[in-house]
């Protein structure tokens, strides 16, 4: 990659150590003559990343998810530094960020382009999700009735606590907790996973990247919550529909050149076995 000449810092001040680390990395960028801007808001206003070569997000996966829309629209790579717990989307630890930051500024990283979901409720404005779109009752975990169509063809109707629509990147988030599959991030698919389905034969379904999904709220008198990556929240009244598809834009995510998805998965999910024992 080309050297970074302009960088934005998004720092989650609620994460332990994030503010102090932010000061160190900002100072390192200034010492290299890199133009910079910084904020502690991680639901970024439109245009905040315009003109930036990269954005360094210091926090956790939730912090990074608040930045993905702007990063995707402005085509700005995100450098995620994990000051949280699991950190699938924020691959650099604070120690790695300190030791490797000069190299990152010099362009020593690769960029993965991650698929995102586009979601509209009843023909409204589009919303972007990197991980998932969640449809459930907005108040309680009561059973909801959802009718699902793929390219205009009925898939089935679900009686469940809700539905999760996940990208390959988001397959290790809520989708995994609900019993859905782990999907390699380069697979351009959508996983649909029911939450506590009333019919035990309802399981995850994997759709191709060109599919156009429509979910109709058939629950009597229920106004459903449509969650976008755990940040944005929309509503769908009885009879209204939610359209979901793979978005045209992708998220550029910075990774170290030796990044291995399976090594990260083994570490984060604490897998064990022969490969781990040989190390």
Catalytic residues: 61
Please state the φ and ψ torsions of residue 53, each to the nearest 5 degrees: -85, -25
Distance CA(1)–CA(109), nearest Å, equals 7
Q: Please state, in angstroms and as integers, the Cα–Cα distance from residue 279 to each residue in 253, 262, 273, 274, 275, following that order.
A: 28, 15, 11, 9, 7
Distance CA(118)–CA(218), nearest Å, equals 22
Q: What burial letters (b/e) apply to 121-145, b meaning 16+ CB within 10 Å? A: beeeeebbbbbbbbbbbeeeeebbb
Q: Is the dihedral of CA 103, 106, 108, 114 positive or negative?
A: positive
- Is the Cβ–Cβ distance between 35 and 55 less than 8 Å? no
């Amino acid at each position: 990659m080309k050297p970074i000449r302009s960088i934005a810092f998004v720092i989650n001040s609620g994460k332990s150590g994030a503010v102090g680390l932010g000061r160190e990395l900002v100072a390192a960028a200034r010492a290299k003559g890199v133009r910079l801007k910084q904020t502690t808001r991680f639901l970024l206003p439109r245009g905040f990343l315009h003109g930036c070569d990269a954005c360094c997000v210091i926090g956790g996966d939730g912090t990074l998810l608040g930045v993905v829309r702007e990063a995707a629209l402005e085509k700005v790579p995100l450098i995620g530094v994990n000051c949280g717990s699991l950190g699938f989307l924020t691959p650099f630890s604070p120690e790695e960020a300190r030791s490797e930051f000069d190299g990152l500024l010099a362009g020593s990283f690769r960029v993965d382009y991650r698929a995102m979901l586009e979601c509209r409720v009843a023909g409204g404005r589009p919303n972007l999700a990197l991980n998932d779109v969640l449809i459930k009752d907005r108040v309680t975990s009561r059973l909801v009735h959802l009718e699902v169509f793929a390219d205009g063809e009925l898939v089935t109707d679900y009686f469940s606590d809700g539905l999760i629509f996940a990208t390959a990147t988001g397959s290790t988030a809520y989708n995994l907790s609900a019993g859905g599959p782990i999907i390699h991030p380069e697979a351009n698919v959508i996983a649909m996973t029911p939450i506590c389905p009333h019919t035990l034969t309802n399981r995850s379904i994997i759709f191709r990247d060109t599919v156009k999904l429509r979910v109709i709220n058939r629950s009597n008198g229920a106004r459903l919550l449509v969650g976008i990556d755990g940040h944005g929240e929309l509503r769908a009244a009885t009879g209204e529909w939610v359209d979901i598809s793979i978005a045209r834009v992708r998220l550029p995510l910075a990774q170290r050149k030796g990044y291995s998805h399976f090594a990260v998965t083994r570490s984060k999910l604490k897998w064990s076995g022969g490969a781990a024992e040989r190390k």
